[in-house]
Structure 1
Amino acid sequence: MPQLRTERLSMVSWTQELVDAALDNPSRLEALLGATIAKGFPNDPVRRFVLPTTRVRLQHNPADGEWSGMIIHVEDNVVIGSMGFKSPPNENGLVEMGYDIVPSYRGQGYATEMARALVNWAQQQSSVHHLTAECLSDNWASIRVLEKLGMQRIEEHGTIIYWEFPIPEQD
């Protein structure tokens, strides 16, 4: 994805160098970005699951980095979270969105703001035909973000709610 920009935020796509720095050397990440890293970035699930998977994907195909990245609060010049799709579209054109915001920046509309930009970008990609997300049934903040985006609940299993965003057919 090109660097997405909103009124208050920008997104920098992952590269191999940025993933390595996020996992192994936060000072290096700050130097590469020219931005401060907020306390709590990356969070534990991103550190343990998302970034290692992204690292492997990027080793096989560096272009996969365009499908996700870090969120930078422009005014503060601080990395406040990450957002993107768990992988490029599969053979059916399906992408699954995920996001996280550090605790000190939550509740200010940042996830919704960047998620709208990300969904708009995805809708412009001819390879994307289905956009999904999932969240825990007690994660009221994520539920509200997904509702604001216009995503529709499609099912619920145990503690997980599954969502879908209707993407119109492209001519």
Structure 2
Amino acid sequence: MSTQSIYTDRLILVPFILEVTNTLLAGDTSILLKLGLQLTPFWPDQEAIDTFPKIIKNLELVQEPTGFESYMVVHRESMTVIGDAGFKGLPNADGEVDIGYAIIAQAQNRGYGLEAAKGLTNWAFQQPGVKAITARCLLENAPSARVLIKLGMQQVTTTEEFIRWKMFNPNLQPSISN
């Protein structure tokens, strides 16, 4: 299953592929120009660079991107990358996928994180076998928690470090047992 970009009102979520991610990790952003994107001094930021090895590891597990990996969050008007978002792999045995997102500091507090997360959840809930989406955020990360609440997620558990969140696929009817 090859994956396509996901379009929202203001964003395009462009799937990472191994070649692009490896090149970015090596410090060469010129590969973005080949994708029709504009360079910005703000991305990749350190958070994105720290995430690249995890993205590469997930991409190496599949023949080609499935959609359940990571995406570059591209601002449609400027065609610059303003963050990354995506899933941490294929659905697990319970039909759950874990979502994550990060928007560069220069583009925060404008609703881009929520818009990217909505685009991803809408896509995921249309895929066979996806029953729920999970997330976790640091206890002190109030902006991320606000995004997850606006997305419709419910807190599941809290540890000293993280809050775990979950939302069920609204397209699935709950099974009624007699």
Query: In the TM superposition, what is the alpha-carbon distance from 1:97 to its structure 2 partner?
Result: 0.3
**How many residues end up aligned between the 2 structures?**
170
Query: In the TM superposition, what is the alpha-carbon distance from 1:13 to its structure 2 partner?
Result: 0.5
Correspondent of 1:73 among 72, 75, 85: 75
Q: Secondary structure at the match of 1:146?
A: helix
Write the mapping of 1:96-111 to structure 2, written as runs, cut at 5 A: 96-111=98-113
Give the number of the structure whose residues are more often helix, by fraction: 1
| CA distance in 2: counterparts of 1:139 and 1:151, whole angstroms | 15
Cα offsets for 1:7-27 (capped at 9, x unmatched): 111011011111112211433
Query: In the TM superposition, what is the alpha-carbon distance from 1:65 to its structure 2 partner?
Result: 5.3
Return the index of the structure with the highest Cα Rg: 2
Which amino acid in structure 2 is aligned with residue 88 of structure 1?
Answer: L
Contact 1:57-1:64 at 8 Å conserved across structures: no
Larger mean Cα displacement after TM superposition, 103-112 or 18-27: 18-27
Residue in structure 2 matched with residue 89 of structure 1 by the alignment: 91
Residue in structure 1 matched with residue 28 of structure 2 by the alignment: 26
TM-score normalized by structure 2? Answer: 0.86
Residue in structure 1 matched with residue 58 of structure 2 by the alignment: 57
Contact 2:133-2:166 at 8 Å conserved across structures: yes
C-alpha change, 1:97 and 1:60, in structure 2 (3 Å) is closer
TM-score normalized by structure 1? Answer: 0.89
Residue in structure 1 matched with residue 176 of structure 2 by the alignment: none
Cα offsets for 1:5-62 (capped at 9, x unmatched): 11111011011111112211433332232212433433434423x3212213323423
C-alpha change, 1:80 and 1:26, in structure 2 (3 Å) is farther
C-alpha change, 1:82 and 1:65, in structure 2 (3 Å) is farther
| CA distance in 1: counterparts of 2:171 and 2:107, whole angstroms | 36
Which amino acid in structure 1 is aligned with residue 151 of structure 2?
Answer: L
Contact 1:97-1:133 at 8 Å conserved across structures: yes
The root-mean-square deviation of aligned C-alpha atoms, in Å, is 1.9
- Structure 1's consecutive aligned runs of 4 or more residues displaced over 4 angstroms after TM superposition are none
Q: Where do 5+ consecutive residues of structure 1 fail to align?
A: none
| CA distance in 2: counterparts of 1:62 and 1:43, whole angstroms | 28
Q: Where do 5+ consecutive residues of structure 2 fail to align?
A: 174-178
Give me the identity figure in percent: 33
